Amino acid sequence: MSGRGLEGYYRAGRRVLSRCQVRVAGREPLVVQARMVAADRVRFVGTLRVTPHGGPDPDVVVEWTRSADGTERITLRSAALRPLRLPVEVALGTDLADLGAIAAGAVGPELTASVHDAGLRWSCATGTSCVTADPPPADALASAGLLRWHFDVPPGGSVTVELRVRLDSAGPVRAMGRAATSPLAPARATGDDPRVPVLLRTSVEDLQALLVRDPTHPMDTHLAAGAPWRCGLAPAEALAAARMTLPLGTRLAAGTLRTLSRTQVSGGGPQSGLIPGPRRDAGAHLPPGCTGTEATLLFPVLLAEARRWGLPDQETEELMPAAERCLSWLRAAVGEGPYLRDPQPGGPVRCETQAHAHRAALLGSDLLDAFGRPGGGGLRDWAHRLRAAFRQDFWIDDRGGGRPAAARTPDGRSLPHLGATTVHLLDTGLLGGGEHAPGLLDKVQTEQLARLLGSPAMDSGWGLRGLGAKETGYNAFGHRSGAVRVHETAIAVAGLTAAGYEKEAGSLLRGVLAAAEAFGHRLPEMYAGEQRTEGSAPLPHPAACRPAATAAASGVLLLTTLAGIRPDAPAGTVTLRPMDSAPLGEIGLTGLRVAGAPFSVRISRLGLAMVEEATDGLQLGV
């Protein structure tokens, strides 16, 4: 860590250490490898040549492990033929800057350190951080932020220095993801493609690392959005990730739903029933969107689908009042019109919001009917009116066959730019008997959207661009205007597969799998939408979270989409709709969960599915 840009240790929204540089015998090691070995751990290896006239080979290897719990472990190994006396110094510094200021590039200079115990301390009006060393340094120079040692290392010997970084007043770091009570099943994959098992294993590891307990209800867990920028609860992302991980069990979904139900706005007023959430950038063409709207619409969808995957009726019924409040908010917000508008005055009518609302209405009505609650018929009637209006108002005819509008302005103008948010039109949601709910587009429009998503303008070869490469405002690094967002690509693969467009789905799937390999199978939240060429590699995005909840959960969705698992636990059935094209060859998935029991399935090279393990009484649907 050099102290430049975004580098540093973060704790409780503050950078507690921004600079940590090692010098051995007055020189920095030459780093020959740096890689993430787990979601919360990075390993660096460097070399040095310290023996005069010793030839070209390095005689000291420096192995440096950095862990998210605040531990820096530095080991020096000697390959010299004689004993070495190695002076070692570590230069440390921090600005104790706020996370938001760092993201905006508005930070001040480093603070002056003071000597404290076996290390250094930095203080400002907003907090205090310190670094302690084991063994204690022989010398500490506060003005330069230096800790110094002199080690005598025998031939073939090694020495280790461990640094502990902490923020005073912050509680201890708890590795929830490593607890024995994890809500995620330890799923495994096998197959012809060697990347498949690594992607699933790494995705599950990343999800484990991002698990967070509700401090007031420690039995309930949810996923932090991602490290380092969004380590707290982001409602829409937490719900979306929990939904994609339903094949790993329903416990995470239940914990996420219970946690968010406690944040729901109560009482009267237009916001009653809303799950609050921050605003999110929507690119160059639209104002920021309200993630609270998305979270409120995702809540009943996740509850309905978790029930299909095996969430017990008792737990489902306990969450029904919160789901009913979400659906009541939807009906009140729509009023007499067909569309759900943005909550801010003069806001647009977004395409993706209508897709979320339509899915919530259909799955919500199904849920209400199942538990004998009123209101299902009214939601279905509104969804029917929305479909009719949407197919007319949101479809833009052009020479290329047409496209869905990204949004409509308050004065009725259509915004025609083509972006990845249209994939939500293909994500209609799971009903009973293995059937998907009807979508907002008709068959011809769906076919045209599939063609557009599979075009070179949208499919970068590494995944789906956030904005088409031919659109005004396209930026390969734009958060919502060109970068590949893994979550939306996974939704596209699942939606295209369900609609029968496997060629386009397979291309996107192979692109993300190739990108995952380039990222060590640990998918970031997003990466640049540069076109893939022979011998190229995906470009990392400097502001992407990695690990990220939706990206890790996307790995689960992508691989389970190959099997097309559609459970209906209340009816005691599971339907399989595997990809006929078998784009990755044979694949086996074990350790999944359906109806609360282990579930394993194998897909042949011919695209045929066979259940290898399931709970007694679970019947294979047609």
- Comparing C-alpha atoms, which of 91, 108, 96, 107 is closest to residue 143? 91
* pLDDT in the model for residue 54: 67
- Whole-number Å distance between alpha carbons of 460 and 480: 15
Residue 227: the pLDDT is 85
User: Average pLDDT per run of 10 along the chain, which is 622 residues long?
Assistant: 83 88 93 88 92 82 92 94 93 89 81 90 90 94 93 94 85 48 94 96 95 90 90 93 98 98 91 94 89 97 98 97 98 94 89 98 97 96 97 95 95 93 97 96 98 98 96 94 97 98 98 96 96 95 93 98 97 96 96 96 96 93 78
Which of 541, 389, 421 shows the shortest CA–CA distance to 475?
541
* pLDDT number for residue 332: 95
pLDDT of residue 169: 63
SS3 594: strand
* Beta carbons of 566 and 260 less than 8 angstroms apart: no
- Measure Cα distances from 360 to 343, 355, 538, 592 in Å: 17, 9, 35, 26
Interhelix angle 351-370/291-309, nearest 10 degrees: 40
Would you state the pLDDT for residue 173?
46
In angstroms, what CA-CA distances link 111 with 94, 510, 559?
Answer: 6, 48, 48
Number of CB atoms found within 10 A of residue 294's CB:
25
Phi, psi angle pair for 307, to nearest 5°: -65, -40
What b/e readout covers 551-568, taking b as 16+ CB neighbours within 10 angstroms? Answer: bbbbbbbbbbbbbbbbbb
Rounded to whole angstroms, how far apart are CA atoms 183 and 614?
A: 19
Return d(Cα 158, Cα 6) in angstroms, integer.
Answer: 32
CA 391, CA 579: separation in Å to the nearest integer? 28
pLDDT value at residue 51: 83
pLDDT at 126: 82
pLDDT for the residue numbered 595: 95
Q: Residue 33 has what pLDDT?
A: 93
Q: Are strands 119-124 and 41-48 parallel, antiparallel or unpaired?
A: unpaired
pLDDT of residue 175: 45
Residue with tokens 């006396």: 85
- pTM beyond 0.85: the answer is yes
Give residues with Cβ within 8 angstroms of 616, minimum separation 6.
none
Mapped onto helix, strand or coil, the DSSP state of residue 492 is helix
Our measurement of the distance from residue 470's CA atom to the centroid of its chain's CA atoms, rounded to an integer in Å, reads 27
